[in-house]
A and B are shown apart, each in its own frame.
Chain A
Amino acid sequence: QQQVKQSPQSLIVQKGGISIINCAYENTAFDYFPWYQQFPGKGPALLIAIRPDVSEKKEGRFTISFNKSAKQFSLHIMDSQPGDSATYFCAAETSGSRLTFGEGTQLTVNP
């Protein structure tokens, strides 16, 4: 019940395209949903986050869509760029407790 399931495992997108990564959870006590971006040899870096009282949050080219009834949330990267090539992790947190991470998505944006 603590798991966060993430798909796809890998994603290849052309420059300028839209990258979409999906996550699903079971634990309704989760109340904070961040996305982290990780480059090789680096730690996860917070990209964008959302709370379940909001259905969508946009920051620049990055948008989180949140569906509370379906217990799903997704990351959309508009106008994807080669510099966006990285591993993306969704995560979920319960009231300031541990972060539970998804399995990660390796995104490759071809020039």
Chain B
Amino acid sequence: AQSVAQPEDQVNVAEGNPLTVKCTYSVSGNPYLFWYVQYPNRGLQFLLKYITGDNLVKGSYGFEAEFNKSQTSFHLKKPSALVSDSALYFCAVRGNNRLAFGKGNQVVVIP
């Protein structure tokens, strides 16, 4: 069964500093990986995906993610965090007509 792990519950970062949210995956076969963001009382918004090709994937709102096959990781990054980036971030892997999500990371950007 495929799964993802997000090892940190909360990530605190100062506004303007780089933001990294970690995700590792476990799949049999090729990984199809996604990042979503959720704001309070809202659904999930798609940020970016890795299917194949370049290991650095660029997405919405200035986010990017780095796929590392040897470390089975797919970390989300943003060079300069904004206060408005404070939200819950989910990593997910797709297969068997479903998304399997990590537990989520609360990101707090401190002004």
- Whether A associates with B in a native complex is no
Interface residues of A (CB under 8 A from B): none
Interface residues of B (CB under 8 A from A): none
